[in-house]
A and B are shown apart, each in its own frame.
Chain A
Amino acid sequence: MTNGWIDIKNTDMMLIMGGNPAENHPCGFKWPIKAKRQRNAKMIVVDPRFTRTAAVADLFVQIRAGSDIAFLGGLIHYALENQRIAKDYLVNYTNAAFVIKEGFKLPEDGLYSGFDPATQVYDKSSWNYEETGGAGSKAAANGPPMLPANVAYDTALENPRCVYQLLKKQYSRYTPEMVERVTGVPKDQFLKTADLFTSIRKDGNTKQVGTIIYAVGWTQHTFGSQIIRTAAMLQLLLGNVGRAGGGVNALRGHSNIQGATDIAGIFDNLPGYLKVPTPADTDFSAWMKRITPTSSKPKEWDSWNYWSNTPKFAVSLMKSMYGDAANKDNDWAFAYLPKVDREYSWVHIWDDMYQGKVKGLIAFGMNGVAIGPNSQKNIDALKKADWLVVCEIYPDETSGFWQSPGITPEELKNIQTEVYRLPGAGFAEKDGTIVNSARWLQWKWTALAPPGDAKVDQEILARIFLKVRELYQKEGGKFPDPILKLSWNYTDPNNPSLSEIAKDLNGRAVADVMDPATQQVIKAGQQLPGFGFLRDDGSTSSGNWLWCGSWTEAGPLMQRRGTDDPSGQGIYPNWAWSWPMNRRVMYNRASCDPSGKPWDAERRQVWWNEAQKKWVGNDVPDFKADSAPKDHMGPFIMNPEGIGRLFVPLAGMADGPFPEHYEPFESPIANPLHPQQSTNPVVKKYTSDMDKYGTPA
């Protein structure tokens, strides 16, 4: 979520799609209900089913599953047609005014410019801003295309190739009639929805706020990211991002799915959303050059481009993982990181295991056989594996795959997979932190020991790893260095204390570190106060830069239990700790107009204090504290442009800088917008005998 659970009570308008929070997040749902009761907020639910959430909505619209982009695109079209937009916000805080270079083509026929049918991949170099006169960044001769340092722009929004005009053109095809054809929502119902949702911007109103709430009904599509993109674009058009009661709010599924995403136990990221190195990155600095964005913006504007600090995050991570074994002389142990240049994601694991390539699987708290689209394929895959290690608290279908129905005694004798089922600890039997949808890191305490001979997960993993390390120490083997040198300085190495790991994640000074702005010195060994202190010279270590600030010298901030909420907005600044730096609503600078004054005085979150020459407020400003409004620094500090992207340039999205409606892969109909390119052209298709696709009858 860009905002938070309690913050929903501040909203005036809710659009709930792809989610059913009344049933799936009941205790969090009290906040939308509170908004209805206390602010007379309206709730619109768009869903293929009449759910329990729909039952309490002010307006329920039934939509054909998978046609969400068409619906949202229709809302964008309506907002633009009727000028129900936040004009000042749009011009100053998004890339609406940026001009796109010549040669870019919209997908009226289903394809953007640059599609290669042979490889089924786009050459995205035409999906880029136009460079303005003056010094610009030139891409290396054979390097990937880059964003120009100086971007051409038109604040009047009239240039035919400016993002605003292209946006209008893109969604001009998403008329109410087309929305009815694609989504099945009758035209008059669609218009009623559009009128209601965009009513917060009627006649130039900037006080009111709307939120969009979604869950896995949106994410579990081949174009899931693009659905969410369309919602984000709508929210940017309406000026809702960064405001209390606004934002783009994902209701995540499990208690620590957010933490799992942040810490990146996934193949293409390292902790804190750092991109993994590829084989083409010849050394650490080549890696940094590729993944560190340079700012790209109108010359007169300012952009903090906070990812420009990537080297500080990456070096601190290597120091955390390898301690003294990561230093300037060995290129920060760059060789110890595996290089990634293809897909190794969850579906690939099972497909590659089915093809006999993956030999061993370790599953801690994940029941892959039960959750895959084809359980039988996953079971058959496991039959081919050499070994399987499962840590669970209950018997599950993955560890018991060899007992699944249909396996004869004859076949069983031929299943050579050696399966270890290790009893782990339930939630009550371990401490540590988990992160909720609202980005709050919350510590939980251990209530009791695991039952029987069960052990806590960290002990099981630690002992396995230390055993592997011991074998490499005694016997040698392939490239043992990263295993032998991995830092493991826990008081009890066989059962590392989660408090010690949490302190590693926050990070500490390896050598004395001084903040030049305040002259404050953090002494070696002390916990760091925040990611602003991270360095790229090896003097700091941090397992996850994003969580730096969660366990400082003051103690574990994520254990705090302050029940005070001075502003009444549901910020609760002293309860636990939210990333980044305890900011509760992200991009909150955008809650003020370009001069630094809140759009709505009643729900002031942050504002510019001219006397103190800094941003202050009820919430922690998600911004450079001393950047004056006249310097026009963009609120979206994690983008190189500093603005919210209506158009996502270059390789940001695989299938298009604007979302386009494609039919789901197993759709019974041809796409009314462009029947000859019905589905998403870049979707990967699996082709084993177990990959069955539905076809229209």
Chain B
Amino acid sequence: MNTTRRGFLKTGTGAVVASVLGFDVHDAYAQAKELKIARTTETRSTCPYCSVSCGVIIHTIGDNAKNVTAQVVYVEGDPDHPINRGTLCPKGSSLMQDILNDRRLLKPQVRRPGSDHWEDIGWGQAFDEIARHIKKTRDESFITTDSQGRTVNRVETIAWNGGCTDTNELNYLVVKTMRSLGVTYLENQARV
């Protein structure tokens, strides 16, 4: 028989153990249970939902180990953050459901012209085809000079719609890449 306290408590049901010992061990059993965040890695992040930008702490288990994928077990407000001081609103409190959700998109897919269904597509092929689309559309419609003969170097057939939870750094890549292509229809959530 396992002689550690935990091992002892786990060997049988409370009733069996109680009959052996003569007292109820449920309270002790409850004490031995560990906080689910006792062994987690804490990562500081920011809630994506509104512009208060509350500090959040994301608790994950299983990282730093070989061949183990980190998994989120808990998300809470960051008590150090001066603005929210550890509090979160209902949206922030449910952030775990935003991260861990069986509706998350997991693989790239394509809908072919005229088709009625999604097909899986590999990343490499997706990048190839998308790049081909961009080049074809751009080359077919690139405007070097306008009707008054002035240099404009722009493309009016490709548009970009950016989001509002995209990081600043991604947005800079967007500005760089889209402007280098000559795209003028460059917009994001800030407009709306």
Which A residues have a C-beta under 8 Å from some C-beta of B?
5-6, 24-28, 30-31, 251-267, 270-271, 279-280, 282, 321, 335-341, 344-346, 348-349, 352-353, 357-366, 368, 371, 386-387, 389, 392-395, 402, 409, 412-424, 426-438, 440-442, 444-449, 451-455, 457-458, 461-465, 467-468, 470-472, 475, 477-479, 482-483, 486-487, 496, 498, 501-502, 504-505, 543-544, 547, 561, 563, 565, 570, 572, 575
Contact = CB atoms under 8 A, between A and B. Distances in A.
Contact of A446 (B43, B159, B182): B43
A52 B34 CA distance: 39
A442 B150 CA distance: 42
Contacts of A420: 108-110, 121, 126, 129-130
Secondary structure call for the B interface: mixed
Nearest to B147: A279
Contacts of B85: 30
B138 to A, nearest CB: 6
Nearest to B55: A442
Contact of A338 (B49, B111, B127, B179): B179
Contact of B161 (A337, A368, A433): A368
Interface stretch (B1-9, B10-18, B164-172): B164-172
Contacts of B94: none
Contacts of B165: 254-256, 365, 427, 434
Most B-side CB within 10 Å, residue of A253, A257, A368: A257
A455 B189 CA distance: 22
A363 B161 CA distance: 5
Contacts of B110: 418-421
Interface in B53-109: 53-55, 58, 60, 63, 69-72, 77, 80-85, 87-90, 92, 95, 98-99, 101, 103-109
A457 B170 contact: yes
B37 interface: no
Contacts of B133: 360, 386-387, 389, 418
Given A424-B105, A478-B142, 13 more contacts: A257-B190, A260-B171, A338-B183, A409-B116, A420-B109, A426-B99, A442-B46, A447-B72, A449-B69, A454-B106, A461-B177, A496-B169, A563-B80
Nearest to A497: B169
B186 A428 contact: no
Contacts of B167: 256, 259, 430-434, 457-458, 498
Interface residues of B, number: 114
B36 interface: no
Given A267-B184, A344-B187, A452 B104 contact: yes
Contact of A255 (B50, B87, B90, B155): B50
A362 B82 contact: no
A341 B189 CA distance: 22
Contact of A455 (B83, B121, B123): B123
A426 B113 CA distance: 29
Given A457-B166, A478-B142, A423 B116 contact: no
B155 A338 contact: yes
Contacts of B192: 346, 371
Contacts of A361: 158-161
B155 to A, nearest CB: 7
Contacts of B19: none
Contacts of A359: 137, 141, 157-158
Contact of B48 (A255, A345, A360): A255
Given A362-B158, A468-B135, A267 B45 contact: no
Contact of B144 (A258, A412, A479, A572): A479
Contact of B186 (A267, A336, A417): A267
Nearest to B99: A428
Given A365-B163, A437-B52, A479-B153, A27 B83 contact: yes
Contact of A360 (B45, B158, B164): B158
Nearest to B106: A452
22 contacts: A25-B50, A26-B89, A253-B50, A255-B165, A256-B167, A264-B175, A266-B190, A357-B156, A361-B161, A364-B174, A368-B161, A418-B112, A422-B108, A423-B105, A428-B72, A432-B170, A433-B167, A441-B168, A449-B69, A468-B134, A477-B135, A486-B176
Contacts of B31: none
Nearest to A494: B127
Contacts of A258: 51
Interface string B113-125: 1111010010100
A261 B83 CA distance: 22
B157 A358 contact: yes
Contacts of A461: 170, 173-174, 177
Contacts of A468: 131, 134-135, 181
Interface of B: 43-55, 58, 60, 63, 69-72, 77, 80-85, 87-90, 92, 95, 98-99, 101, 103-116, 118, 121, 123, 126-135, 137-139, 141-142, 144, 146, 148, 150-192
A429 B43 CA distance: 11
Contacts of B51: 25, 28, 251-255, 257-258, 436-437
Contacts of A501: 169, 172-173
A368 B99 CA distance: 22
A366 B171 contact: no
A357 B157 contact: yes
Given A256-B164, A353-B159, A479 B170 contact: no
Contacts of B138: 477-478
Contacts of A416: 113-114
Given A338-B183, A371-B192, A505-B172, A364 B166 contact: yes
A484 to B, nearest CB: 9
B172 A5 contact: no
Contacts of A263: 168, 171-172, 175
B158 A575 contact: no
Contacts of A387: 130, 133, 137
B189 to A, nearest CB: 6
A293 to B, nearest CB: 23
Contacts of B176: 321, 486-487
Contact of A265 (B139, B153, B171): B171
B135 A421 contact: no
Contacts of A442: 46, 53, 55
Contact of B153 (A338, A348, A426, A470): A338
A296 B178 CA distance: 36
A393 B162 CA distance: 14
A608 B150 CA distance: 51
B180 A336 contact: yes
Contacts of B128: 467
Nearest to A565: B82
Nearest to B48: A427
Contacts of A27: 52, 54, 77, 83-84, 87-89, 92
A467 B131 contact: yes
Contact of A364 (B115, B126, B161): B161
Contacts of B48: 254-256, 426-427, 434
A359 B159 CA distance: 8
Given A6-B83, A448-B60, A478-B142, A344 B162 contact: no
A267 B157 CA distance: 14
A502 B106 CA distance: 28
Nearest to A424: B105
Given A260-B190, A271-B172, A544-B172, A453 B107 contact: yes
Contacts of A428: 43, 45, 58, 72, 95, 99
A363 B162 CA distance: 6
Contact of B185 (A260, A267, A449): A267
